[in-house]
Amino acid sequence: MTLRSRTTVRWCVRTLSEICVTVGTLIVLFVVYVLFWTGIRADSAMDGEIGRLQEQWSTGSVAPDDSAPAPTRTKPPGPYEAGTSFAAMYIPRFGADWAKPVLEGTATDTLKRGLGHYDRTARLGQVGNFAVAGHRRTYGDPFKDFPRLRPGDAVVLTDGTTWFTYRIDNRPYTTLPGDIGVIDPVPARSGYNGPGRYLTLTTCEPEWGHSHRLIAWAHLDSTQPVEQGRPSALTG
């Protein structure tokens, strides 16, 4: 091999090595962005939504604890507005401090700021199916622990006037993204026999993918005015 050929080979090897290092660095930065930075931004956005709900609902009373809005509004909530938060959700199974805003719609930007209500499903507490979607991973990982849900677990929501306590009826069910019957007024494959006041929670499966969906169904177990304080599901 001539000196010129050897020089060319070294140059090619060095260039290829530099390209590999650059690509590797970009991959690492992307992973950091997905796992860390989107989480920070989403947590901040969700805290902001909870703060706005607190401001809307507050009439000068003190919140029961630092993690929960003080729902004290007496005027019934109006129509849900796309991209706007209207309720807060609590799932004790996910931790005592787990509290997430629920916004209207399931657009990409909406789900970066909290949980999203499927806009063609029932309103909170009404007859029909109040269906909600949330990220399993990235953007704050709100439904990271979704597979831990068990029958009997409480899912508590408030719209500022009423506490709504739903009870989970199934272990998470796996289906395909196109299976839209799971959010029907009487959800398909849920085992419910007729109209009722239902809640459907949906998220992605597997944990770091989106080829399938995990589904949990619940029924409305009880309601109480906010003036009566927090429901037993959150205080027990």
Catalytic residues, which ones?
135, 204, 213
Report d(CA 212, CA 196) in Å as an integer: 27
* Residue whose token pair is 């709900």: 53
Please say whether the beta carbons of 147 and 172 come within 8 A.
yes
The rounded Cα 93 to chain-centroid distance in angstroms is 14
Report d(CA 123, CA 75) in Å as an integer: 16
Residue 152, Ramachandran bin (φ over 0: left; ψ between -120 and 50: alpha; else beta): left
Residue 198, Ramachandran bin (φ over 0: left; ψ between -120 and 50: alpha; else beta): beta
Strand pairing partners for 128? Answer: 197
Helix, strand, coil share of the chain (percent; to 5) = 30, 25, 40
The number of beta carbons lying within 10 Å of the beta carbon of residue 117 is 24
